[in-house]
Amino acid sequence: MSVETLSRYVTSNSEILSGEPVILGTRTSVRAIVGLWRLGIMPEEILSHLPHLTLAQVFDALSFYLDHQAEINEYIEQNQVPNELVHPSVRAALGE
């Protein structure tokens, strides 16, 4: 098992999400937090979607993302649901 601390709250563990950066002590990926933020959800509001996190963890994840955008964007791209599998009502709500 390979564990690496990447920032105060972000870590990488080869046994959790294949080493994708996550919040320390959770299985919540930086990718998930960034996904909510990209939808226009304010960091303080992200807590209502991920109530097990603290605001400090959310801000640290966003800071980590801003320093490692290419890496996190790659994880986002790899985990994107193909458009044909997204329900039409969800696509409509997203304005697609």
Please give the chain's pLDDT, 96 residues, in tens: 777 888 999 999 999 999 999 999 999 999 999 999 999 999 999 999 999 999 999 999 999 999 999 999 999 999 888 888 888 888 888 777
Q: Where are the domains of the chain?
A: 3-93
The domain 3-93 is classified under which CATH number: 3.30.365.10, 3.30.390.50, 1.10.10.10, 3.30.1360.30?
1.10.10.10
3-class state of residue 69 by DSSP: helix
Distance CA 3, CA 9 (A): 13
Entry pTM: 0.83
